[in-house]
Structure 1
Amino acid sequence: MSRSRLTIPILIFLILSACIEDFEFDGISAGEGIIVEGFISDQSYNDLLLLPLPARYFTLKLSNVGEVENVRNEPVLGAKIELHQDNNVVYDYAEIEGGEYGLFYEAFRAEPGSEYHLEITLADGRQIVSEIQTLEREMDMGSFSLEEGINVDYENIRGEVSITEQEGINFYVTTLVNETEEPIYYKWDLTITWIFNAQLAEDNSPIKYCWATSKNFYKEYQLLEDQNGGVQNELFFLKTKSSRLNHGYTVLVRQTVMNSGYYTFWNEVEKQLNQSELFAAPPYNIASNLTSDDIEVFGYFGVVNETFGRWYFDKDEVDNYGGWVNDQCIFGGPWAPWCFDCRAWAYDDRPVTPGMPEWWDTKYFRTKP
């Protein structure tokens, strides 16, 4: 039986960007073996451009993990990775760097009714295969809602409990009605973008305002097994006394609907992380759909329905917003570099870009708090 193979020249990968599922297995005790991280969805690179959202290709990450804790996982290089579809089409991943491999097809998306599985051949010939996966049902994003309130933080400082109350907004998503008899498995993660103002830069300077992005500001993800729908799920609490809100602030909500196996995987990862924070011995038996006759394999290859929703902070929607001045660039001196150049506000996990992104809604850009 014949099969089709889709390939593209490898040289162009040097100028292309990609992203993976935003989770690192460093810190997870998984035993000794290979970790596989990756997914595909029903939203292609081209689909995201039309939404409009920052586009991304599907990627897979391979890393070696040992039994020694607190040692960063080593990348797996030189692997050959194929994505097989049930109509005898094979898509080739291309190696990028650091154990990441990209599926660089701008129009590729997971299709309803199709079956997918991975075949991975390591540089030494050992093989890893995933179970067959199919796309879950399509489910639109539910409705967003806000509720003003007070968040209470408890902090133990040298045996004494410090209590801090902060005014802010509770942000919720309410799931749509589930008209089937089967549960729907949801996962939400968040990316925030806000406008940083270099307060001492000239008003017309191209480096006065930058758009800063972070995926680590809120909890990494939220999970929900929803039987009937109509569930109000809190995604985050936003302090309304924050300089981040002065000039513009948005949250991109990514919703994925997955099968029960992938949901179990993320649920067990979350439990293990929580146990690690409590100094408990984390379990080793996280669910996986990857197998090998040659080596222990951890991780999961998911096929998901993906939906996005964007929310912008509007100061007119809340009563307890009064603006918040960042006084680092006002009084005295010497001043930090970011007082004159917004690009200096960047960190490794917080890229900043001068100039308004194409997707930004201009009515949510304010020059004054």
Structure 2
Amino acid sequence: MKNRRPIHWVRDAVLATVGAAALVFILARGPSQAPEGPEITVVSWGGSYGRAYADGIQTPFSEETGVRVAMEDYNGGLAQIRAQVDVGSVYWDVVDLEMADAMRGCDEGLLEPIDIEMLPPAPDGTPAKDDFYSEMQGECGAGMLFYSTVYAYNADLFRDEKPSTMADFFDLEKFPGRRGMRRVPQVNLEFALIGDGVPLEEVYATLDTPEGLDRAFDKLDTIKDQVIWWEAGAQPPQMLADGEVVMGTAYNGRIFNAQVLEDQPFVIVWDGQLLDYGQLSVVAGTPRLDDALRFLSFATTARSLAAMGRRISYGPARRSGEPLVTTHLATGVEMAPHMPTSPENIARALRNDWSWWVDNQDELNERFSAWLAR
């Protein structure tokens, strides 16, 4: 990465607590009985995404290869991976990572290098390097899906004027009621500046200045007393359904599934969406490396990515996967209008600058935690 500053991650109180808990669990776990036949552990995000993962990738992989897959859920971060690698007791094999964590984990030696040339070509023979979108290509992982963080509201609670811009999310006078937000600085700082009128193309340049960071936190201050914080992606749809919040930030696919599978009256506001993409990575030192790499290769084929895209509205990381995403398998709903990358939805999108977050993550985690505690 060009001009990347050295990473000096801070083991602050929160991270130390998580890391220590992970270490205790590893040591307490001890050697387990080996199951009959090969088995790997794949870690992902749970909820409706996890169900799409199990049906679209996990089960077909096991049927085709005979390798069993144990799925575990987590809320992101590197603490548990770092603890496993540090003590030499790796029991996670493949992990879905946000891009900043994939970059940091690669720099710290926590993840296995992945040569994109080892991944299968597109159905028409196009090499993987030319088939994957460039932003999906990392040194220690393979791209999975385009997704976005948006905000959504419960239409039953807005009978007259309805929210339509990021500024509306921060307008408690015009749209009173509690908001849901993820308990991390990522996305919240970007949304705060967008809601405060900063043009999309200037958001990260603004965040790169002390004055811009102060402006973002000042904007968050205006709604802080009305925010309910979430940590797992399955929480925002439930918070909206229960009336715990009137609007909340969420992953677009979680809201989509609540709309089409549960008939929830939710509306996504695409204005200012933060377009994102993650990496599927293999934990360094796994004793099940060959099977982990087999899973990674299988999961990132056009067929597998399209199988996901037909179950939850996240776009494939490969160009060849896009034509395979037609309708929602369970309901027959056309998927194109619900994808974050569709022309209508992407018009007012901000692409997440994970390079910026790699350089600033520790400092902002610390500042955000202090801000929450005030």
Q: TM-score, normalised by structure 1?
A: 0.23
Larger radius of gyration: 1
Structure 1 or 2: larger strand share? 1
Specify which structure has the bigger relative contact order, considering alpha-carbon pairs within 8 angstroms and separated by 6 or more residues.
2
Structure 1 or 2: larger helix share? 2
Q: TM-score, normalised by structure 2?
A: 0.23
